[in-house]
Structure 1
Amino acid sequence: MSDHLASSYDLVIFDLDGVVFLIDKPITGAAEAVERLRADATPIAYATNNASRRAADVAALLNGMGVSAEPAEVLTSAGASAALLAERLPAGAPVLVVGAEALRAEVRDAGLTPVDSLEDEPVAVVQGYGPEVGWKILAEAALAVRAGATWFATNTDRTLPSPRGPLPGNGSLVAVLRTALDREPDVVVGKPQPGLFRTAATLFKSQRPLSIGDRLDTDIQGAVTAEMDSLLVLTGVSGPADLLAAPEDRRPTYVAADLSGLFRPADDARLPGPGGESGGWRVTRDGDRAALDGSGDPVVALRLLCAVTWDGVPVSAITATSPEAEELLRSWGVLDS
C-alpha cells in the first residue's frame, strides 16, 4: 500500500461547494482526485449542506463536470431533513417548505405533504437554501412557527462560495426568521451536526473515514463532533487566517491547498506542523509573540504558525522578518495592508 494521506482511510467523504466545485464550475484537480481514489478502490461519498438539489441531480451535475458520481454516493441535507421529518411526523402531515423544489420533492417522497401557507395548518416548517426564496414564503414560515409549527433548518451556512466571492447561504435566510421570531430553529439537520458524516460511515461500513471540507464552522466542526479525521482544503470559504484562529472544535487533522494533498505524505499536511522550521520557513516564538521568516510553500508556513497560535499566540501577534513572509501574511490578511 502506498503511504499517501488517503491510503490510511477506508472512506473519503467530500463536501461539494468549495471542495469539488464553485457554483457550477469544477475546481481544478477535483476530477483527477476522485478518479485516483477510485483506482485505489477507496469508497467515496459526497455530503453537502446544499438543499437545492436532490441526490440524483447532484450526481448528474458532478458527472457533467467530469467528476464521477452515483446517486447512492450523495447525501444531501434536504434528503436528511425529509427523512428526519418522516420519523417524527405522521404520514401525510402538512409541512411548510421554504426552499427549492428539490426540498419539496424530498418532503413529498418521504410521505409528507408540502404546503406553502399558514392556512394549510402546517405542523412543521423546513427551511433550506433556494435562490428564489423571498419575503412571502418567509412571512408564512414565521406565522407558522409562531402558531406552533416545529422549525427545522437543513443547515445554517451563512455563505455559499462562488467564483465572485461568498454569497448569502441558508444561514443568512435562517437569520431573517431568527430576527423576526427572536428564537433559534428547533432542529438543525446538516453540518456541523454529525448526522451526515455518521450516515455516510454507516452506509459504507467505514471504520476509518476521512472528511474533506472548506469550512471550519460546518465541515470541520461536524467531523470533529462525529470523531472523524478531517482535511481542510483552501479552495473555498475558510482561509489561512481562519485556521490560525480556529478553536479546538474547529481544528482539522490536516490542511492542504487543494485535493492534490490527498496523494502526498500525511505528515506533509498534518496539523499542527513541526515546531521551529520546515521547508524553508522558520517560526520563532518569544512568549506571546511569534515571527515568520524565510520562504517556501505557503501551506508549510501555515502549519508552522498553527503550532504557535493553537498554543496561545494571538494571530495579531504574528510578525514577518523576511520579505516573502511579509507578503504571505499580508495576502492572508494577518498583517495590515
Structure 2
Amino acid sequence: MSEALQEVYDAVLFDLDGTVYQGSRIIPGAAEVMRELRDVRRPVRFVTNNASKTPEDVVEHLRGLGVDAEPAEVSTSAQAAARVLRERLPSGASVMIVGAPALEHEVEATGMRPVRKASGVDAVVQGHWTETGWSDLAEACLAIRAGAFWVACNVDATLPSERGQLPGNGSMVAALRAATGAEPEVAGKPEAPLFTTAAAAAGASLALVVGDRLETDIAGAVAAGLDSLAVLTGVATPGRLLVAAPAERPHYIAADLTGLSAPAGELRVGPKPGWRVRAEQDVLAVSAHDSSDQLELLRALCHFAWETGVTAVRALDEGAKAALGDLGLTPS
C-alpha cells in the first residue's frame, strides 16, 4: 500500500472557499485534517482568490471555524494584484480601487495612491467585494476607456457559499469587459505566481495544491508545475472532471479534505482494479469487477476520458449503473 497522500509532499497549499469552508460553515472534516497536518509538522498555506479580506481577516475567520492559522500562512489575490501593480507602475502612482478596503490596504502598502474616482488614474484594480455597485463599475469603465492599466485579482465567475453559488469577481469583470472591450491582467489563480510564492514561503520543494475549482485551483497548480488534489465539496463535479481540459486536470480526486490521509495510489487518477472501463467507439463502457466505490470509478473514468477524448458513459451491469447514478453521470 502506498504512503498517505499528505506524507508524499512537504507542504500543502489549500484553497479556502469551497475547500476548507463555505461562507460561515466549515466543511466537515476540514478542521480535523488541519490539526493532523499540524501534528505531523506539515507546513500549510492558505491560497485564496478572495480579495475582500486581509490575511488577518482570513485567520480570524479560520480560527472562528476551529482551524488554527497565522497571517504569514495566508496568500491572497489582493496581495498578488498589488505585486503586479508594483512591477508595472512607479511609486506614488494613482490606482483606482474597485473592491474592499483590504485591497486598498495592499495597494497602499506598495507605495501607490489608492483612489475611488476615475479622474487621472494610472491603473484600475478590481477584486471581489459585496459592496461594489454600478457607480463603482461606471468609474472603472471611464478609467479603462481612458487607457488605465487594468488588473483583476481573479476572474472566478462564482463564489461558493452555504446558500449555493453566488456572483464572484469574474462576473463583475465580465461586465467591465463587455463595457470597455478591454482585457485585464489577472493576478491571482489560475496564474502561477500565487502558488509559487506560497510554496516558496512554506520552504517546499514538493508542494501539493488542494482545491475545488478546476479552472482556477487546478489550472493554477498546472501552470505552477505542482501536483494537485481536486475535492468535490465546492464547484467541481464528476461531469466537469470528465471533460476537463489538459490544463485543468488534477493528479488526485477525493470527496473532501479527509482524502489527504488516504493512500496516494488510491486517490490518483488512473485505471482501478475494481472497475473495468473500455472505450467502445463513442462511449466508455463500464462494469463492476470488485468494487462499489463510485470515486474509484470516477478516477478510472477520468483516466480513460482524458486518454481517449470519449466522455459518454454506458453501464454494463447493475453495479456500474448504481455507481454512475451516485456520481450524477447519466449513462448513454
TM-score, L = length of structure 1: 0.93
Report the alpha carbon displacement of residue 313 of structure 1 after superposing the two structures with TM: 4.5
In 1, Cα distance between the equivalents of 2:159 and 2:4?
A: 30
Alignment correspondent of 2:31: 31
Does residue 1:318 correspond to 2:316, yes or no? no
Q: Cα distance, 1:263 vs. partner?
A: 0.6
1:262 to 246, 260, 263: 260
Whether 1:157 and 2:153 are equivalent positions in the alignment is no
* Partner residue in 1 for 2:293: 297
Question: What's the offset of the Cα at 1:53?
Answer: 0.2
Question: What pairs with 1:192-207 in structure 2 (closer than 5 Å)?
Answer: 192-207=190-205
Q: How many angstroms apart in 2 are the aligned matches of 1:285 and 1:11?
A: 37
Deviations 1:254-281 (A, max 9, x none): 110111111111001001233xx41xx4
Residue range with higher mean Cα deviation, 87-96 or 147-156: 87-96
Give the 5 Å matches for 1:223-302. Answer: 223-274=221-272, 277-278=273-274, 281-294=275-288, 296-302=292-298
Q: Secondary structure at the match of 1:63?
A: helix
Higher mean alpha-carbon deviation, 126-135 vs 303-312, is at 303-312
Q: How many Å separate the matches in 1 of 2:25 and 2:8? A: 29
Shift of residue 155, structure 1, vs aligned partner: 0.5
Number of equivalenced pairs: 329
SS in 2 for 1:166: strand
Counterparts of 1:257 and 1:267 in 2: how far apart (Å)? 15
Quote how far apart the aligned CAs of 1:230 are: 0.5
Identical columns (%): 50
SS of 1:51 mapped into structure 2:
coil
**Contact 2:24/2:162 (CA < 8 Å) preserved in 1?**
no
Given residue 191 of structure 2, which amino acid in structure 1 is its aligned partner?
Answer: Q
Structure 2: distance between partners of 1:37 and 1:237: 24
Q: Which runs of 5+ in 2 are unaligned?
A: none
Question: Residue type of the partner of 1:52?
Answer: S
Instruction: Identify which of 309, 325, 329 aligns with 1:334.
Output: 329
Alpha carbons 2:152, 2:173 under 8 Å: kept: yes
AA partner of residue 152 (structure 2): A
Contact 1:290 1:313 survives alignment (8 Å): no
CA-CA distance at 1:75 after TM superposition: 0.2
Query: 1:87: how far off?
Result: 2.9
SS at match of 1:311: helix
Matches within 5 A, 1:1-337: 3-119=3-119, 121-185=120-184, 187-274=185-272, 277-278=273-274, 281-294=275-288, 296-315=292-311, 317-335=312-330
Structure 1 residues 147-192: Cα deviation after superposition (integer angstroms, max 9, x where no partner): 111000001111111222211111111000000012211x100000
Query: Which sections of structure 1, spanning at least 5 residues, go unmatched?
Result: none
Tell me, yes or no, if the aligned pair for 1:5 and 1:266 is still in contact at 8 Å.
yes
Q: Aligned letter for 2:255? A: A
Aligned 8 A contact 1:128 1:153 in 2: yes
What's the CA shift for 1:304? Answer: 1.4
**Contact 1:96–1:122 under 8 Å retained in 2:** yes
The residue type paired with residue 132 of structure 1 is E
Q: Compared with structure 1, are the counterparts of its residues 58 and 8 closer, same or farther at alpha carbon in structure 2 (3 Å cutoff)?
A: same
Deviation at 1:296, TM superposition (A): 1.5
Q: CA deviation at 1:332?
A: 4.0
Q: CA deviation at 1:117?
A: 1.0
Query: 1:330 Cα shift?
Result: 4.0
What is the root-mean-square deviation of aligned Cα atoms in Å?
Answer: 1.7
Q: Larger deviation: 285-294 or 295-304?
A: 285-294
**Contact 2:79 2:106 survives alignment (8 Å):** yes
1:215-241 Cα offsets, whole Å, 9 max, x none, are 110000110110001000111101111
Q: Deviation per CA, 1:282-324: give whole Å up to 9, x if none.
A: 3243233222233622210101111221122422x21123345
